[in-house]
């Protein structure tokens, strides 16, 4: 009963609500999210980061409990740095996703209240969806958070499988924008990140506006 009470308190804590998406393209990956954090029906923050750089060519999106998400981001960033110090090379996207999934599986009876996307570019673009119990699947595209049903509809309609980032960036941005219209926990503005063989890049707000106008 004590653990159940703690879990209920955790579920009522600050949440990102959120919609995030991840798309694997021919030349890299696209990650996008909104920036709103909610506490029940209260908008707790209008500028919360939900797409984080983990390594040179790896990033992660978060949806769920803010505290849990921030801890897991810091943990994975540290593990990637340690891996590079030990082995003299960067951790692969697949290994990073597997490591994070294993961490979460260890706590499945008192889980981290999050949904995650880990994506990156090694020899090719890779996108992994990780649930709160440590389940991990590789996807061509995926979405997490309370607005994900809306986002999936936009992506299913517009995503060009095998297409380049240039062809699919507007789809990712519009998926978040549409979720913002229908999901109260998703809001403020659209944040878009790309990862290619050149590395991690966060788009300027003006560039995102242009994508939404296309």
Instruction: Give the mean pLDDT of 18-39.
Output: 95
Q: Answer whether residue 192 is part of any domain.
A: yes
5 falls within a domain: no
Count up the domains in the chain and report the number. Answer: 1
CA distance 132 to 111: 6
User: Is residue 190 included in any domain, yes or no?
Assistant: yes
Q: In this predicted model, which residue has the larger pLDDT, 56 or 14?
A: 56
Q: Domain range for residue 88? A: 14-213
- pTM for the predicted model, two decimal places: 0.90
pLDDT tens per residue across span 125-173: 999 999 999 999 999 999 999 999 999 999 999 999 999 999 999 999 9
Q: Is residue 61 part of a domain?
A: yes
7 is a domain residue: no
Residue 140's Cβ-count burial label (10 Å; 0-12, 13-18, 19+) is: middle
Residue 11 has pLDDT above 50, yes or no: no
Active-site residue, from 16, 18, 142, 144: 18
What digits encode the pLDDT tens for the residues 61-107? 999 888 899 999 999 999 999 999 999 999 999 999 999 999 999 98
CATH number at residue 131: 3.60.20.10
Domain assignment of residue 9, yes or no: no
Question: Has residue 3 been placed in a domain?
Answer: no
In the annotation, is 18 catalytic? Answer: yes
Residue 1 lies in a domain: no
């Amino acid at each position: 009963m004590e653990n159940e009470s703690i879990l209920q308190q955790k579920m009522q804590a600050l949440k990102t609500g959120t919609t995030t998406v991840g798309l694997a393209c021919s030349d890299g990956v696209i990650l996008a999210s909104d920036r709103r954090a909610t506490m029940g029906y209260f908008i707790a923050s209008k500028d919360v980061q939900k797409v984080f750089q983990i390594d040179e060519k790896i990033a992660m999106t978060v949806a769920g409990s803010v505290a849990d998400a921030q801890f897991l981001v810091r943990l994975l960033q540290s593990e990637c740095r340690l891996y590079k110090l030990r082995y003299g090379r960067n951790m692969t996207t697949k290994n990073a996703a597997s490591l994070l999934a294993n961490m979460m599986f260890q706590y499945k009876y008192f889980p981290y209240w999050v949904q995650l996307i880990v994506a990156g570019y090694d020899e090719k673009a890779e996108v992994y969806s990780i649930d709160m119990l440590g389940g991990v699947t590789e996807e061509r595209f995926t979405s997490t958070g309370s607005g994900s049903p809306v986002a999936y509809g936009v992506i299913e309609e517009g995503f060009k499988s095998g297409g380049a980032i240039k062809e699919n960036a507007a789809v990712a941005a519009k998926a978040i924008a549409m979720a913002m219209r229908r999901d109260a926990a998703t809001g403020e503005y659209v944040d878009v990140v790309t990862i290619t063989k050149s590395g991690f890049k966060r788009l300027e707000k003006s560039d995102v506006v242009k994508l939404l106008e296309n």
